[in-house]
């Protein structure tokens, strides 16, 4: 399979076995890691996914904190190993060196590095596909906002999103192909822009909430027209399949008509912050304390298993040791700094602001059914703060999100390609993945192969991005503009609700790979510092052991959650099945590649590392 994919790049350029150029300073390394942990992008992308995880929505902020603690423990392990073994390959390289330098475990060096490298590919080869998939959703939302007669912003066209995913996969790969310096320059600019935009939105969201106490006149958002209004909507009862529901009455252009009182006056909308509706669905946080409360620790675990997606990436710079000017000094600093700045500071702040903004005019039930709830929120607060120009405010912010998406996808492709390059150089993967581009000195074969895989995964992600709990209502499906690019694939609410959410599924596949990789890396850290002169009980036993257990428990809890009424079984077990097939294929690949190159699973003599 790998050999087939690599033929796509056979004639791109001659390859060389030369070494990568050492051009990255501490700033460049940190910038690349921060680009992958992109708060400006992931708040926009994952808020809907986290909101759609059943009843656990109230614990979203606490789930971020739980995932952050897990990642910090893992980041310490990566930083410590980077001090010992700076080089290209990240966890794959660390596993090899750690076991080779262990007096008792050296025979397991090959099998350990392969297991770690193979697990990392479940993360690094799926994650960019998730990103180009959500870029397709994002683009559909923007197009639907600008041209509502062509496409629905809340439920963009499936074929349109697939086309966007393919385009973005190969466009971003072309940047990675040019070299890490080009990528770093892009990431530096993107980081500055997205952080500024993030702070602006968070401050606006907090301003809206504090200036609209319960019972005061406010705005309510309408998903179909994609705008916010200051009045109650006029409704009329409609019977569907014997069930009567209130449907909003609209004018010819789709704008909801205002409700009027007995005197013929328009009824203004008054905001409330009730936590739940009559059916028990979570709506909003009544207080700031509710936002940061864990509510139930089981909910925190579920949210953390999704939130891990937004925090991964701190380890990406450990794959760039071959391009760092001072790898031993700068890479450990970059690993910790990127996670603390992006995760502890910006993510916690922005997720608090977004959750605190939820209200009766834009409840969680609306957010979880939207393709871009943060975009909706920007329109809501923008209409209030900028006198009806909420859509313009959203589009400006959306541009910065688009840049952040490019940065995080670019950083992940760079990281994944370098891990593949390291395995190819060791001839642990078939094909000529261990070669570099003759001019750019980049692992171009791995980059273009990863681009192809990302395009495929991205298309799979958006096929049923609105399946399961995110299935649109019958009224929403009926309001989607008809056309090849806009409505193909949208059947009925019942059929879509019965299907797995493919966006959540591929996210969990990537996350399972992440949990597995991080757990193995924590174990590798303990092996690396076993009987080492610089051994520290806290840094090299307590923290790695906590990270190991936390990663395993989080992955296991998501599999157990459906049995205790938290979420559905479709996505986690489908993701587990995909991960299992990858493991089985890895076993046969390891055996075949070993026979092909005359390698035994266990080393017969110790190699000087």
pLDDT tens digits, one per residue of 531-590: 899 999 999 999 999 999 988 888 887 778 777 776 678 888 898 899 999 999 999 989
Whether the per-residue pLDDT at 474 is higher than 50: the answer is: yes
- Sign (positive or negative) of CA dihedral 535, 536, 539, 544: positive
Q: How far apart are CA 511 and CA 50, in angstroms?
A: 13
351 within 8 A of 292, measured Cβ to Cβ: no
- In the block, residue with structure tokens 């990789």: 517
Residue 306 pLDDT > 90, yes or no? no
Average pLDDT, the chain: 84
Count of Cβ atoms closer than 10 Å to residue 200 Cβ: 15
For the chain, the straight-line distance linking the first and the last C-alpha, in angstroms and rounded, comes to 31
Residue 407: is its pLDDT beyond 60?
yes
- The Cα 402–Cα 190 span in angstroms is 10
Residue 25: count of CB within 10 angstroms of its CB: 15
Q: Please, are residues 77 and 308 in contact by the beta-carbon 8 Å criterion? A: no
Rg of the chain, C-alpha, whole Å? 25
Q: Are 87 and 532 in contact (CB under 8 A)?
A: no
Tokens of 451: 């681009």
> Is residue 106 exposed (0-12), middle (13-18) or buried (19+ Cβ within 10 Å)?
middle
**C-alpha–C-alpha distance, residues 126 and 458, integer Å:** 9
pLDDT of residue 12: 47
The per-residue pLDDT for 16 is 44
Q: pLDDT over 90 for what percent of the chain?
A: 31
Percent of the chain with pLDDT strictly greater than 70: 90
DSSP state of 540: I
Question: Of 3-7, 251-255, 312-316, which has the strongest mean pLDDT?
Answer: 251-255
Reading the block at residue 400, the tokens are 């910065």
Dihedral angle computed from the Cα positions of residues 198, 222, 465 and 43, in that order, rounded to the nearest 10 degrees: 10
Quickly tell me which residue has 């709830």 as its tokens: 373
Q: Is 433 exposed, middle or buried (0-12, 13-18, 19+ CB in 10 A)?
A: buried
233 Cβ neighbours under 8 A, 6+ residues apart:
220, 222, 248, 249, 256, 257, 258, 259
Res 54 pLDDT > 70: no
Q: Is 228 exposed, middle or buried (0-12, 13-18, 19+ CB in 10 A)?
A: buried
Report the C-alpha gap between 435 and 432 in whole angstroms. 6
Pairing verdict, β 436-437 and 15-16? antiparallel
Q: What are phi and psi of 18, to 5 degrees?
A: -65, 175
Higher per-residue confidence, 87 vs 314 = 314
pLDDT number for residue 86: 82
pLDDT at 187 exceeding the cut of 70: no
Mean predicted confidence (pLDDT) in 282-290: 95
Structural contact between residues 145 and 450, judged by C-beta atoms closer than 8 angstroms: no
Q: pLDDT band at residue 218, thresholds of 50, 70 and 90?
A: very high
| Two tokens, residue 508 | 């969990």
Question: Which whole number is the average pLDDT over 600-605?
Answer: 79
Whether residue 40 is predicted with pLDDT greater than 70 in this model: the reply is: no
- Cβ-Cβ contacts under 8 Å for 81 (sequence gap 6 or more): 94, 98, 318, 521, 524, 525, 528
Domain ranges of the chain: 2-218+281-596
Q: According to the model, what pLDDT value does residue 319 have?
A: 73
Question: CATH topology for 2-218+281-596?
Answer: Amino acid/polyamine transporter I (1.20.1740)
Confidence of residue 11 (pLDDT cuts 50, 70, 90): very low
- With cut-offs at 50, 70 and 90, classify the pLDDT of residue 473: confident
Is a pLDDT exceeding 60 seen at residue 5?
Answer: no
Closest CA to 489 of 504, 471, 508: 471
pLDDT at 6: 43
d(Cα 113, Cα 532) in Å, to the nearest integer?
20
Residue 9: what pLDDT?
Answer: 44
The least confident of 274-278, 441-445, 509-513 is 441-445
pTM of the model: 0.79
Query: Which of the four pLDDT bands, split at 50, 70 and 90, describes residue 417?
Result: confident
What distance in Å separates the CA atoms of residue 292 and residue 304, rounded to the nearest whole number?
A: 14
Give phi and psi for 14, each to the nearest 5.
-70, 155
**Does the pLDDT at position 379 exceed 50?**
yes
Give whole-number Cα distances, 512 to 262, 309, 549, 568, in Å. Answer: 57, 10, 14, 17
| Interior/surface letters 390-400, b for 16+ CB within 10 angstroms, e for the rest | bbebbbebbeb
Amino acid 4: pLDDT: 47
Write out pLDDT tens, residues 324-368: 788 888 888 988 988 888 888 888 898 999 999 999 999 998 888
Of 64, 40, 122, the residue nearest 375 (C-alpha):
40
Strands 235-240 and 243-248: antiparallel
**Residue 143 near residue 151 (C-beta atoms within 8 A):** yes
Strands in 177-272 per DSSP E:
220-222, 227-229, 235-240, 243-248
**Contact of 160 with 152, CB cutoff 8 Å:** no
In this predicted structure, the answer to whether residue 59 has a pLDDT above a threshold of 90 is yes
* Encoded tokens for 494: 């019942």
């Amino acid at each position: 399979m790998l050999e087939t994919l690599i033929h796509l790049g056979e004639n791109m350029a001659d390859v060389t076995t030369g070494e990568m150029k050492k051009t990255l300073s501490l700033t460049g390394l940190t910038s690349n890691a921060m680009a992958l942990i992109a708060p400006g992008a992931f708040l926009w992308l994952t808020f809907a996914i986290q909101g759609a995880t059943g009843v656990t929505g109230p614990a979203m902020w606490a789930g971020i904190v739980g995932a952050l603690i897990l990642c910090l423990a893992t980041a310490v392990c990566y930083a410590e190993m980077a001090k010992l073994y700076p080089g290209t390959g990240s966890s794959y390289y660390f596993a090899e060196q750690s076991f080779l330098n262990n007096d008792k475990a050296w025979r397991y060096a090959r099998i350990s590095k392969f297991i770690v490298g193979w697990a990392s590919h479940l993360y690094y080869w799926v994650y960019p596909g998730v990103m180009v998939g959500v870029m397709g959703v994002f683009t559909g939302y923007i197009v639907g906002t600008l041209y509502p007669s062509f496409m629905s912003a809340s439920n963009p066209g499936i074929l349109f999103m697939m086309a966007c995913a393919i385009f973005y996969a190969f466009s971003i790969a072309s940047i990675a192909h040019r070299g890490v310096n080009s990528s770093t320059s892009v990431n530096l600019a993107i980081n500055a822009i997205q952080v500024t935009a993030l702070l602006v939105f968070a401050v606006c969201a907090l301003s809206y909430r504090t200036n609209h106490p319960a019972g005061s006149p406010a705005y309510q958002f309408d998903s179909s027209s994609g705008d916010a209004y200051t009045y109650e909507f006029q409704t009329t009862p409609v019977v569907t399949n014997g069930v009567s529901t209130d449907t909003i009455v609209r004018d010819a252009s789709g704008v909801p008509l205002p409700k009027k009182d007995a005197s013929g006056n328009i009824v203004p909308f008054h905001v409330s912050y009730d936590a739940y509706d009559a059916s028990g669905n979570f709506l909003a946080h009544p207080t700031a304390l509710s936002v940061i409360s864990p509510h139930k620790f089981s909910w925190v675990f579920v949210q953390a298993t999704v939130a891990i997606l937004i925090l991964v990436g701190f380890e990406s710079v450990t794959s760039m040791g071959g391009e760092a000017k001072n790898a031993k000094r700068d890479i450990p600093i970059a690993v910790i700094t990127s996670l603390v700045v992006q995760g502890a500071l910006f993510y916690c702040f922005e997720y608090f602001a977004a959750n605190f903004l939820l209200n009766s005019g834009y409840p969680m039930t609306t957010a979880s059914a939207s393709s871009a709830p943060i975009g909706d929120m920007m329109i809501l607060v923008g209409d209030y703060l900028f006198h009806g120009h909420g859509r313009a405010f959203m589009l400006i912010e959306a541009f910065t999100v688009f840049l952040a998406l490019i940065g995080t996808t670019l950083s992940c492709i760079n990281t994944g390609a370098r891990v593949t390059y390291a395995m190819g150089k060791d001839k642990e993967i078939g094909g000529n993945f261990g070669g570099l581009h003759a001019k750019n000195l980049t692992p171009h074969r791995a980059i273009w192969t990863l681009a192809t895989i990302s395009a495929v995964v991205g298309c799979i992600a958006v096929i049923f991005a609105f399946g399961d709990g995110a299935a649109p209502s019958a009224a929403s499906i009926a309001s989607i503009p008809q056309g090849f690019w806009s409505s193909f694939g949208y059947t009925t609410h019942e059929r879509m609700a019965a299907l797995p959410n493919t966006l959540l599924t591929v996210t969990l596949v990537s996350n399972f790979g992440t949990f597995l990789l991080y757990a193995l890396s924590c174990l590798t850290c303990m092996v690396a510092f076993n009987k080492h002169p610089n051994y520290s009980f806290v840094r090299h036993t307590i923290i790695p052991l906590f990270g190991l257990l936390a990663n395993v428990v989080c992955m296991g809890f998501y599999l157990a959650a459906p049995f205790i009424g938290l979420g559905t079984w479709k996505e986690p077990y489908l993701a587990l099945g995909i991960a299992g097939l990858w493991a089985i294929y890895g076993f046969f690949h390891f055996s075949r590649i070993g026979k092909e190159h005359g390698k035994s699973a266990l080393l017969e003599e110790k190699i000087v590392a």
